[in-house]
Structure 1
Amino acid sequence: MSIAFLVTTLIAVATPGTGVVYTLSAGLSRGRRASVIAAVGCTLGIVPHMVATVTGLAALLHTSTLAFQALKYLGVAYLLYMAWATLRDKEVIAVVEEAASLPAAKVIVSGVLINILNPKLTIFFFAFLPQFVNAGEPGSILRMVELSAFFMMITFVVFTAYGVFAASVRDHVISRPQVMTWLRRIFAGSFVVLGAGLTFA
């Protein structure tokens, strides 16, 4: 595994995006357990990108403007929905004593959807990952799977670190209603900015 791939993976994962925002929100609102569950969901959301790349959908989206535009605007729509839901529902970031109060399945599904429609992942898997694999050589498919698995592992570790950190400071933040109001606005605004960036990409 090349140093270039390792560095690129760390940068791609650690750069704040939709998955990071979602995991931080889970950690602040429902604690450490919820943040880890959110990280699991975001990590599982990588699987469709990996499968699409390995099975050749990358080539289809590269040659089909319509397919790429459809995927892009679907992602924009979901990001705007997340912004609206964050502002509308005060329980998205609120004091919750038990992390289990929100079903783990719901947290995971949201995380999966966020990363399925994450443009950063689409770019990484559809355009960048194949550059580290020699398609003509035997075992190239297995090599892609290995690199994707490493990317998923790093995603889980980094996102969990983000979430656990957020959970560790929640007592200092959640007790202040005004701070919580602004946090909801910041998270919602982050989704809007990410959606706008995808729109004009």
Structure 2
Amino acid sequence: MLSRVCRARFVMALALPCSLFAVQSAYAGLGGAPMTPPTDASVSSRTMQPGAHPATAAQGVMRSASSAASSTSASASYTVRETTLGNGTVVREYLAADGSVFGIAWRGPQMPDLNDLLGSYFPQYTAGVTAARAARGGGHGPVAVDQSGLVVHSGGHMGAFNGQAWLPPALPAGVSGSDIQ
């Protein structure tokens, strides 16, 4: 007969692999391809012109993909892909004409997995956070990493997280960091 401790370890050993399969990550990568949404997510895409904000676009001031494609504007259009995860968190990916992600924004009750969202830029982000916290004497709170190749702003509190990340060199003509929201 197994002792309670051994039985608890056995149950945990069986439960851990099952729980890992139950976690649904949204795999994306800043500078790479857009995320593959989890099965419980809803996704919508909109074509934007530089200077149009996704928040106003969601209220009906956005150009349709067909009218943007026929536009003779000198500025390149870009796509905003909005994914609402099953937990209610909304992730917006900003895609250049070639399909690469040049910016990401999030808001919602749970923090998304920044390791997935930032992709190969995650180590640069964590190094920036470590340096920023060391400079201000540690602690928690909002995070800002402002570097020439990567900008990440993240903050909020339990139940209401938000943030933005973008690659300054990859921003299309006419698009600024303030457009990533």
Higher Cα Rg: structure 1 or 2? Answer: 2
Q: Is the pair's TM-score, using the shorter chain for normalization, greater than 0.5?
A: no
| Larger helix percent | 1
| TM-score, scaled relative to structure 1 | 0.23
> Which gives a bigger RCO, structure 1 or 2 (Cα 8 Å, sep 6+)?
1
